[in-house]
Structure 1
């Protein structure tokens, strides 16, 4: 069997790439012939997997700055299309596993795959398989978007974080994506990081779903005595959909200090808004572990329907309780298993109230113990996950066709919240 892994970038600065690298590792350990298509220079994969064939475009992701040419080549990247077609020509028993494509590779890869008989699997790290914005968030109104993707309501909705013209470009990209054909999308297997994602992805032609939670490793080497610590910790992208501006307002409202680690478009504004907090940008793993060991609780203020939240699982495995937004799909199980508290998404007063509760040492100790207990079963171990992934590639684990659980699941109700400060820009 030959495995082709497809992803925008080769260096793990986010969860999607981290999982893509783990898939390559699983394939290599299982003795599969592995190839990789990446949009950047491929250095991150070549250094880690010297035996793996790498087809690299040498291009930059949209988040590093938009050029005029990107208006066209991020809608349909001809170089990505041709590169994938070359990889597919070898024939034989072949599985293609797609991770990220929205930053460089574009929907062109799906058109290449539609012309192939290869088995196609896509891991849904976000909602770009259905939603043009990839997040189901209406940034202007401050709520989860209720519109069916590409419906009349969707087309008329100015929901984009930048402007309506950018929304129209995203719609055009989604149309290009859909144009790979219903027959193609009907045979694609979609791996979900959380079962709660499925209701968001069943409006279109996708038919085949399977949930496999991402393997997690503790944030720290040893369990944390969280109740003895003082500072809260945020670890993630500094962007609107991650809810960092509402977090900043809550920290200013309460006067509490926290450590916020991550990069993104709001980094400088958050640094200016929180002079009493430590906001260093991104740090290496050793530094992150050191700050996690001093964390009282983890903040997860997502405004979007957060597909899973790997960092929440990693924190719980370390005994760090989680304050999770109600929009995070994992939030209700965190609360149910007494591994943290849930607050109303984007609501500064609700978040501040929960932060005040976390001043209680006995409560934090109780939630820390709950986090340790739930962390042991929140996701498979890396060895279990590797074996399941290889079994999926080999067809020993089957995808369910619009499984019956999804019929009983509904999307969260609309949740409104204040938009203020830099989030309006």
Structure 2
């Protein structure tokens, strides 16, 4: 089987890129031929070096690096991206059996969808966010610091000042959403959800686009080792971008109320504020360094998302190491946390989080939660191999369905004649 993975970057700067890269590697290790096409030239993850993995770049600019007017027009419809992608697909030595799109908002734009849909090859989109339906991609009101319940592209949506940057940015994103709907037309898209909450949310709304829903867990590249000893840890640890919507400030406030240190791995807009308040901020670290910090320092890992996050991967990675997790119910990965048994699922509010943190001051409870987290995760681990096999099964299913549709179109059944 030949699979084309299409992403915008070839190195993991976030969860979506990480999953795209790891999926490509897992599929190659599972015996598939993989072509990884990335839009933007730049750093390349070593995982993309494999005998059955070919890598191509479209050498496009990231729209955030462009002047404002060019960024706006390219973000709505990037004809150059469509042309370069079509040429790259035409030049492949072997026709792909499936096309898998992971990202499209930073360089590719909706313009690539007619190219992909016009190939007559099954197309899959993994939904790492909600950009397929929501203009700002996250169903979140940045102006109100709360989740958004408006219908996408409704009148109320169009007038809402929900964009994290400005109303002008909102107009561009609305234009992109409208272009997306026109690009897809009446075609039904096969989409992969990485959490149950994402699937339920998308199935329960009028998306403006026809969707066929599939569910596959993200891969977690954590080797099975002896479980960590969280009762020896001294801090609640947050790993990720330091932003209000991800709740970094909530961790700091709740930890102060609970009398526990908070440790932050990452950077972002809240970094200076957290440092000024006396928090320990380590900045970005590579995965091996993060694992070492977690095993040495963490009593628990906290992911207190204010917005509807489809991840984050840090929840799975913490559970795999035997660390309790404190997660927001708005985090998709919270579905893997058994409240009161492997951690706590609490609302993203300082009082609720502080209550969970106070409970974690009990060494016996913390140790018990950690052991249960480890045992629960490794009963059904989200390994790269399992992820790849799930993808291959989906590709085969979609390939068979595509052949049946082609046969039905080529050989219509004639109505029985009246006797």
TM-score category (smaller protein): 0.7 to 0.9
Answer with 1 or 2: which has the greater Rg. Answer: 2
Superposition pairs of residues 90-129 of structure 1, within 5 angstroms: 92-129=95-132
Q: Relative to structure 2, which stretch is displaced further, 312-321 or 210-219? A: 210-219
Q: Closer, same or farther in 2 for the Cα pair 1:84/1:337, shift >3 Å?
A: farther
Contact 1:55 1:83 in 2 (8 A): no
Contact 2:236 2:262 in 1 (8 A): yes
Q: Which residue is 2:280 aligned to?
A: 278
SS of the equivalent of 2:59 reads coil
Q: Closer, same or farther in 2 for the Cα pair 1:246/1:2, shift >3 Å?
A: same
CA drift of 1:252 comes to: 4.2
Q: Closer, same or farther in 2 for the Cα pair 1:193/1:337, shift >3 Å?
A: farther
- Aligned CA-pair RMSD: 2.6
Q: Relative to structure 2, which stretch is displaced further, 24-33 or 284-293? A: 24-33
Q: Which residue is 2:264 aligned to?
A: 260
Contact 1:219 1:292 in 2 (8 A): no
Q: Closer, same or farther in 2 for the Cα pair 1:268/1:109, shift >3 Å?
A: farther
Contact 1:392 1:398 in 2 (8 A): no
Partner of residue 350 from structure 2, selected from 348, 351, 354: 348
Give the alignment's TM-score, normalised by structure 2: 0.86
Q: Which residue is 1:420 aligned to?
A: none
SS of the equivalent of 1:180 reads helix
Superposition pairs of residues 111-260 of structure 1, within 5 angstroms: 111-184=114-187, 186=188, 188-202=189-203, 203-204=206-207, 205-218=209-222, 221-254=225-258, 256-260=260-264
SS of the equivalent of 1:242 reads coil
CA drift of 1:80 comes to: 1.6
Q: Which residue is 1:382 aligned to?
A: 384
Q: Relative to structure 2, which stretch is displaced further, 331-340 or 120-129? A: 331-340
Q: Which residue is 2:406 aligned to?
A: none
Contact 2:122 2:399 in 1 (8 A): no
Q: Which residue is 1:422 aligned to?
A: none
C-alpha separation between the residues in 1 aligned to 2:335 and 2:195? 13
C-alpha separation between the residues in 1 aligned to 2:315 and 2:223? 10
Contact 2:327 2:344 in 1 (8 A): yes
Contact 1:217 1:317 in 2 (8 A): no
Q: Which residue is 1:75 aligned to?
A: 76
C-alpha separation between the residues in 1 aligned to 2:22 and 2:169? 33
1:240-269, CA deviations, whole angstroms, 9 ceiling, x for partnerless residues? 321112223333444532221113343333
SS of the equivalent of 1:140 reads coil
1:58-78, CA deviations, whole angstroms, 9 ceiling, x for partnerless residues? 345456787442111122222
SS of the equivalent of 1:293 reads helix
SS of the equivalent of 1:330 reads helix
Q: Which residue is 2:404 aligned to?
A: none
Q: Which residue is 2:17 aligned to?
A: 17
SS of the equivalent of 2:214 reads strand
Q: Which residue is 1:32 aligned to?
A: 32
Give the alignment's TM-score, normalised by structure 1: 0.85
CA drift of 1:381 comes to: 2.5
CA drift of 1:115 comes to: 2.5
Q: Closer, same or farther in 2 for the Cα pair 1:93/1:38, shift >3 Å?
A: closer
CA drift of 1:291 comes to: 0.6
